[in-house]
Amino acid sequence: MSVRYTGRLIPSGKVFQSNMDDTAAGSVYKFVIGTHTSIPGFDEGLRSFKKGGTGTLYLPAFLAYDAQRGPGGDQFENLIFEVKVVDVTDAPPPSPMQMPTAPKGGQQQPAQAQPQKK
């Protein structure tokens, strides 16, 4: 998902971060929903948006930074995000799991049992 947003603190309304006015393509926030790479409320709230969608996300502290210091420098900050979804694409496929390889030089040797001490 590619998103433009303005983040504000509640109750002051002070802007802590925005990429709404940036015209460079690299300034769009890109992330994969469900990978926990953004705060939970942002990830969860944007699931209902489609390409071109706009809206406001009101995030209670527990869906933002919770007990960690938030963008205003305090714990348990409530946040507001004005969002505009620029693009929605399929997530990249997961990388294939590494399969163990046989030792070099040919066939795998059978495992040998180790005698147990009594």
At 3-19, the pLDDT tens digits run 999 999 999 999 999 99
Its CATH architecture, for the domain 2-87, is: Roll (3.10)
At 26-38, the pLDDT tens digits run 689 999 998 889 9
Q: Is the pTM of this model over 0.75?
A: no
**Contact yes or no for 1/85 (Cβ under 8 A):** yes
The helix/strand/coil state of 2 is: strand
List the chain domain ranges.
Answer: 2-87
